[in-house]
Amino acid sequence: MDTKIILLIAAFVIVVIYVWIDGNRKHKARIEKLLEESWGKPCKRKISDDEMKAISHYYEDCADEADETVSVIDDITWNDLNMDDIYKRMNIANSSVGQEYLYKMLRMPFNDEKKLRETDRLAEFFSQNKEKRKAVQHSYVKLGYAKRISLSDYIGLIVDLKPSGNLIHYISILLIIAALVCCFFVDPVSGIGLVIVAVSFSIISYYRFKAKVEPYFICITQIVKMVQAAQDIQKINISELSSYNEYFKGVEKEFASVVKNAGILASGNVSGSLGEMLMDYIRMLTHIDLIKFNNMVKKIGVKEQKVYELMEQLGFIEASICVASFREQLAVWSKPEFVTGTVAINAEEVYHPLIKNPVANSIHAGKHVLLTGSNASGKSTFLKTIAINALLSQAVYTSVSKRYRAPIYRIYSSMALRDDLESQNSYYIVEIKSLKRILDAVDEKNQKPVLCFVDEVLRGTNTVERIAASSEILKSLRYKNVLVFAATHDIELTSLLEKFYDNYHFQEEVTDNDVKFNYRLFKGPAITRNAIKLLGVIGYDAGIIKAAEARAGHFMDKGSWTVD
């Protein structure tokens, strides 16, 4: 062979090897940068509404199968507390298994402190061991995200699929072999005709069956990737993960026959290589990928529980990494102290995790709490702050406070409600249904206390009926296994409920040109009425303000409104 040709071939091979090595180096550098920049910071990855909906499917499946002893954060409470935003802030997971488990963890807080302490143990380890954490994270990067639908949906699809028989595929192979034998050993002319017929039959039947099952190939791939991720984590050999590594060893043996030759299922000539092109022809002629697929479906079908267990184990580890990263974001946080035999909550310097430069407040509530104060003074935010802290304490063993001490609650809220146009329900109907579900939860035989939050009780109706009904609803909870935090503009409730509720309030300072809120919690009911004064700050006509003050004063003195 000509020396120049040899040199050209050698140069080409060197360039190909260099490009491949350089590509791998750059890919690793990108991943390393991603892991460094995401740690201890709010997640920057945009999660669409459709993706959020898919992420929630794993939780929904688990909630459907849970019994009445399992705590669930229902949709109303989740939306009231803007928990999607908190979830997105926490979610630095690099795989579907991690982000779906983290969502489920927040929607279904653990019932036992043992699991919470395990979350804390892993979170502390990953926080203190950067290189080992990153090694584990690399395994999840390789596992990656499922596309279009959730990972749990993929698993559900494949375990519910009934495998087809392989007879037609074996017949296709035998026909080609028989045609080749005829071509070489019987009659070449007839043999060639039979080869054409056999190959045509093989290709047509291949694509006919492939079209039916190809969407499920990705389902198999996701399970194989989970097994490989478990193998990768096991190989890192972290002693703090010893119990998980033992489990992963069993998984490796359990799924060995499933993982073996899984690459045969690859579909389409992705890279355009000659090797992949050759494999495509081999698949068409031998149906080897369809045969392998049917065999794998049979094996996975009897391992359904094992597949979900693997998802749980992998998901829990990566969710713990997310918890560790979330803690790094917080200026102040504490590990909750759980107590029994009481409904009281003690929170010191507690604050809202989504507010920039938040004002921290403290409260010891052994009795129901009634909050008063003007609009924008901080009532609703304080309710959400306490609720979110209770939820995070029970879900990820992390309180956004200096100290949090309370029992493990069932948590409900009725706050940011809207008209239900689809069901043609007015705001008031939506509200009383929301409150009724809390009353029903309180009346359940479940021994775990209820922590509930109600913002502006029955705001959807007139003043007289609102005060009458809301006072009775709130009073009805006085002897129950429940702690209520309620906010209201109706000052009348502070006296009507003073035997059963401790009064707290937020206040503001109104000057001629401005209104200032300090967002500090004070004991006692609100004693100022600044709504009319605020009209002046905004620039309303002085005559309107003067007349409004006179009318309000008359009502306060006489108990009735003036009539013009």
Q: Residue 399: what are its φ and ψ, rounded to 5°?
A: -105, 135
Q: Render pLDDT for 427-458 as a digit per residue (tens, 0 to 9).
A: 678 888 888 888 888 877 777 899 999 988 87
Residues spanned by the domain of 59? 47-155+314-329
As a whole number, mean pLDDT of residues 379-387 equals 95
Q: Are residues 267 and 342 in the same domain?
A: no
Q: What is the DSSP string of 312-353?
A: HHHHHHHHHHHHHHHHHH-SS-B--EE-SS---EEEEEE--T
**pLDDT value of residue 271:** 43
- pTM to 2 decimal places: 0.84
Within 444-541, residue ranges assigned H as helices are 463-475, 492-496, 531-538
**Which H/E stretch holds residue 451?**
strand 450-455
Whether residue 364 is contained in a domain is answered as: yes
Structure tokens belonging to residue 435: 């409150």
Helix (H, G, I), strand (E, B) or coil at 361: strand
As a whole number, mean pLDDT of residues 364-384 equals 91
Structure tokens belonging to residue 409: 């609650």
Whether 25 has a pLDDT exceeding 80, the answer reads: no
- Please give the Cα distance from 499 to 75 (Å, whole number): 33
Q: Identify the CA nearest to 463 among candidates 485, 492, 434.
A: 492
Q: Are residues 293 and 212 in the same domain?
A: yes
- Please give the Cα distance from 486 to 382 (Å, whole number): 10
Whether 417 has a pLDDT exceeding 80, the answer reads: no
For strand 368-372 and strand 501-505, is the pairing parallel, antiparallel, or unpaired? parallel
Q: Are residues 297 and 387 in the same domain?
A: no
- Comparing 246-255, 399-408, 538-547, 551-560, the range with the smallest average pLDDT is 551-560
For strand 361-365 and strand 345-350, is the pairing parallel, antiparallel, or unpaired? antiparallel
**pLDDT value of residue 307:** 86
Are 485 and 450 within 8 A, CB to CB? no
Whether residue 416 is contained in a domain is answered as: yes
Whether 6 has a pLDDT exceeding 80, the answer reads: no
Residue 536, Cβ neighbours under 10 Å: how many?
Answer: 19
Whether residue 28 is contained in a domain is answered as: no
- 89-114 b/e with 16+ CB inside 10 Å = b? bbbbbbbbbbbbbbbbbbbbbbeeee
For strand 482-487 and strand 515-517, is the pairing parallel, antiparallel, or unpaired? unpaired
Q: Are residues 116 and 183 in the same domain?
A: no
Whether 381 has a pLDDT exceeding 80, the answer reads: yes
As a whole number, mean pLDDT of residues 362-384 equals 91
Q: Are residues 201 and 289 in the same domain?
A: yes
- Please give the Cα distance from 174 to 196 (Å, whole number): 14
Dihedral-angle region of residue 456 (phi above 0 means left; psi in -120 to 50 means alpha; beta otherwise): left
**pLDDT value of residue 14:** 80
Whether 36 has a pLDDT exceeding 90, the answer reads: no
Question: What's the length of the chain?
Answer: 564
Whether residue 362 is contained in a domain is answered as: yes
Whether residue 117 is contained in a domain is answered as: yes
**pLDDT value of residue 110:** 81
Q: Are residues 303 and 350 in the same domain?
A: no
Residue 401 sits in a domain of what CATH number?
A: 3.40.50.300
**pLDDT value of residue 460:** 66
Q: Are residues 147 and 177 in the same domain?
A: no
Q: Render pLDDT for 137-186 as a digit per residue (tens, 0 to 9).
A: 999 999 888 877 788 888 877 777 777 788 888 888 888 888 888 887 77
Whether residue 26 is contained in a domain is answered as: no
Q: Are residues 458 and 355 in the same domain?
A: yes
Strands (E), 21-84: none
Q: Are residues 122 and 185 in the same domain?
A: no
Whether residue 432 is contained in a domain is answered as: yes
- Comparing 82-86, 150-154, 204-208, 508-512, the range with the smallest average pLDDT is 508-512
β-sheet bridge partners, residue 484: 452
Residue 190, Cβ neighbours under 10 Å: how many?
Answer: 12
- Comparing 299-308, 363-372, 409-418, the range with the smallest average pLDDT is 299-308
Q: Render pLDDT for 48-63 as a digit per residue (tens, 0 to 9).
A: 888 999 999 999 999 8
Residue pointed to by tokens 């490989």: 228
Q: Render pLDDT for 224-244 as a digit per residue (tens, 0 to 9).
A: 889 999 999 999 999 999 999
Q: State the total domains in the chain.
A: 3
Query: What's the mean per-residue pLDDT of the chain?
Result: 85
pLDDT band at 270 (very low <50, low <70, confident <90, very high): very low
Q: Render pLDDT for 172-209 as a digit per residue (tens, 0 to 9).
A: 888 888 888 888 777 877 878 888 888 888 899 888 88
As a whole number, mean pLDDT of residues 472-495 equals 88
**pLDDT value of residue 269:** 43
Whether 218 has a pLDDT exceeding 50, the answer reads: yes
Q: Are residues 352 and 478 in the same domain?
A: yes
Q: What is the DSSP string of 398-454?
A: -BSSSEEEE---EEEEE-S---BTTTTB-HHHHHHHHHHHHHHHHHSS--SPEEEEE
More confident residue, 106 or 162: 106
Residue pointed to by tokens 């072999």: 177
As a whole number, mean pLDDT of residues 500-525 equals 85
Whether residue 37 is contained in a domain is answered as: no
**pLDDT value of residue 486:** 94
Q: Render pLDDT for 329-358 as a digit per residue (tens, 0 to 9).
A: 999 999 999 999 899 999 999 999 999 999
Q: Are residues 494 and 368 in the same domain?
A: yes
- Please give the Cα distance from 553 to 557 (Å, whole number): 6
Q: Are residues 170 and 307 in the same domain?
A: yes
Are 363 and 504 within 8 A, CB to CB? yes
For strand 450-455 and strand 410-414, is the pairing parallel, antiparallel, or unpaired? parallel
pLDDT band at 526 (very low <50, low <70, confident <90, very high): confident
Whether 128 has a pLDDT exceeding 90, the answer reads: yes
